[in-house]
Each structure stands twice: as structure tokens, then as C-alpha cells.
Copies of this chain bind each other. A is one copy, B any other.
Amino acid sequence: MINFEYHVPTKIYFGPDEFSHLGKEVASYGKRVLLTYGGGSIKKTGLYKKVLEQLAQFDLQVTELSDIDPNPRIESVREGGELCKKHNIDVVLAVGGGSVIDCSKFICAAACSDIDPWEWFTPTRPKVTKALPLLTVLTLAATGSEMDAGAVITNLATNEKIGRAFPQLLPKVSFLDPTNTFTVSPFQTAAGSADIISHTLEAYFSQDKDLFFLDTFMEGLLRTVIKFAPRAMNKGDDYEARANLMWASTWAINGFVNGGKTQAWSVHPIEHEVSAYYDITHGLGLAILTPHWMRHVLAKDQEHTLPKFVQFAEQVFGITSQELSDLDKALAGIDALQTFFVNDLQLAPSLSKLAIDTTHFDAMAKHAAGQAGVIHGFIDLYPEDIREIYQASL
């Protein structure tokens, strides 16, 4: 039985002509703005200047927090929260990709709280009850953070990378201009596309009674990424490719595809341990692990997983030959995805290519299974399953 709530009030401005609304929108939330961004690529592209011009039109007082890292750190959250308190910030404007936006979400929360921000990620799991309003200008199609309520924060001191979500963290307004992703490198485009695919697959592979309608949506979304990611890698300023990737990235994870499903994600927690231990690009880790996760769960419980793998092969990759058995189709679909990651997206095929060895596999597998000792995903995965998936991905 399908029951769910869907409520995604984020306002989206899509396309270059919509950027002129930025100043007005930020100003509607207050006078004192914290502007957050990453390593400064927005200064090279000219976006930084355009943002400041928009804010200047409304005489907004701007405080800046730069150098937010990929896999954003709890230290940046603390620093941002303190800046907000010190400067009595009204609204946060995040300009960047998922890392900058994720970090800014918990900065918004930290600004309104007296606890140390890492407490939100500890086993006591207090709730975020209040946060400053967040607006975003997206520069990378990947995480979907621009229209969802979640964020993933890394604590390198404890080798932990943990995601949490609260409705208070949902951005109020997000500006999605595909031209702001023209300068994204082929590698980052590929890693972002792998992230989009993974978000979709985490919802798609479920044993809940799915809504066929949402399956068709996810299959179309996957075909969109498979069609346009190589085009965007090949020609960075291909507007149609960038626009399709950008809007698809948002909808892979804004809650729509989940409609009524209870099951948790599988590959993301498995990958988060790799990123936490080795600080690799999240999407790259997902691309390496996903096909091995697929083969593992198919082999472990073919009875319950085969039909969806067959549907995936048929609807996403058009593998419909009547000469193939269902199992052959399923395996061909998995192979096709891996080939897409390695050949089309040119992503590394294995963990060993990233100089990762078995050293931490036991600890990573245990962490990935979490407090409960099991990932309740498409099928249940225990630490020994997770370790086997790491091993197969070497």
C-alpha cells in the first residue's frame, strides 16, 4: 500500500534569463547575507561578480565564507555558523555544487542553534528545529541538494561522512542556469552524472510495490543522463545537454521518485565509507561500486531481485532480445551500465586504480552497516556482504 507525503516548496528559476531575479529574491529574506562558495572557480567564470552585482542592486550587506571543500567538513559548518551569529546574518546564499549547498544547509541550522553542529550527526541525533533561509545558485548537476532537504557532512577526525535531512533545510529558492555548468570538467561532469544515476537507482531498485508511473519516470531520467552526459563531456557548452542533466539531477532526489517507498539506500552508504576513508570523488566511487552491488544482490537473492533487473535492462538499455533468458538480460543490463561508466564516462573501473587496497575494508563494511549492523535496501546487506562488494570492486 502506497502512502506518502510530497511537499517540495522550493522555487526554481531555470535558465540564464532568470538570473536577474536573484537580488530581489535574496533581499526578500533580509539585509545581511552570508555568501558561501568553494575554491574560487566562480571568480574565474565571472559568476561571483554577477552575484555581487545582483546583491548590490538591493544594498545588501555581504559576508563571505569561501573555500568550502568537496565532501564538506564539519569545520566549515562551525565557521559558517559562527560568522552568521557574529554578523547577525538574515539569509545564506550558496553558490556552488552539492558540497557548498550541503555545507550551507547546516550553516543555516548552526546559525540558529547553540549546540556543536557535529551533534546533529552523532548517535543522539537531535533534530534541527530552526534554520536561516537558504537560497542557492547551482554550478554542478549532481547531488540535487538545490531542491532537497538533505546534506552530507564529513568529519575527517572520526572518518565519518553522514547525511541527515530536515524540512527546515530545504532551499527557499534555487537558480538553475545550465550555462553555469559549461566550465565543469569532463571528469566532474562524469562523476556528477554517476551520482544522478545512483540516486535514481537507489529508489528504483526496491521491493516495495512500486508505482509504475514513477518507474517510467526513473527509466526516462536514466536514459536522459545516459544520452546527454557524454555530450556534455565532449562539448562543455552544449546547452541542451547541460539543461537536461541539470533538471534531471534535481528530480533524481527531490523526493518525487520515492513516492511511498520505505526502503533505505544501499550503494550510497557503502560509497560514503570509501569517500570518508580516502576522500575520493563521491560520484566516482558510486560508479565503481554500483555494478558490483548489482551483481551481488542479484546473485544473493535472484528470486526477489531478478524481475526488476530485467525491467531495468529492457527499459533503460533496450535489451529486449527474446533469445536471452531473464538472467542473461539482467546481467547484460548490469554490464551495459558498467560499460557506460567506464567507456562513455571514462571513469576508473576499480578501487585499486585509485590506490585503494583492502586495509580498511573490514572497518568500512562495519561502519557502512551502521548502528543496526545491516543496510535494509533492495535486499538486506550485512557487513560480510558489503566487504564482498568492496572486494569485487578492487
Contact = CB atoms under 8 A, between A and B. Distances in A.
Contact of A18 (B5, B17, B239): B5
Contacts of A216: 217, 219-221, 223-224
B18 A14 contact: no
A247 B15 CA distance: 27
Given A1-B239, A3-B18, A219-B220, A213 B12 contact: no
B213 A247 contact: yes
A244 B213 contact: yes
A86 interface: no
A44 interface: no
Residue among A7, A216, A260 facing the most chain B CB atoms (10 A cut-off): A216
Interface string A225-268: 00110000000000110011001100100000001100000000
6 contacts: A212-B244, A213-B224, A213-B251, A216-B220, A216-B224, A217-B217
State which size class the interface on A falls in: 35 or more
Nearest to A14: B4
A340 interface: no
User: Per DSSP, are chain A's interface residues mostly helix, strand or loop, or mixed?
Assistant: helix
A211 interface: yes
Nearest to A224: B213
Given A15-B260, A220-B220, 12 more contacts: A1-B239, A3-B14, A3-B16, A7-B12, A8-B8, A212-B227, A212-B228, A212-B244, A213-B220, A213-B224, A216-B219, A216-B221
A145 to B, nearest CB: 17
A2 interface: yes
A336 to B, nearest CB: 18
A209 interface: yes
B223 A247 contact: no
A15 B228 CA distance: 35
Contacts of A10: 7
A48 interface: no
Given A1-B15, A7-B12, A15-B1, A221 B213 contact: yes
Given A220-B217, A227-B212, A243 B14 contact: no
A127 interface: no
Q: Which 5 A-B residue pairs are closest in the complex by CB-CB distance?
A: A216-B220, A3-B15, A9-B9, A7-B11, A6-B12
A192 to B, nearest CB: 15
A13 to B, nearest CB: 6
Given A9-B9, A11-B7, A15-B260, A213 B248 contact: yes
Contacts of A11: 5-7
Interface string A54-89: 000000000000000000000000000000000000
Contact of A5 (B13, B209, B247): B13
Contact of A2 (B15, B221, B224): B15
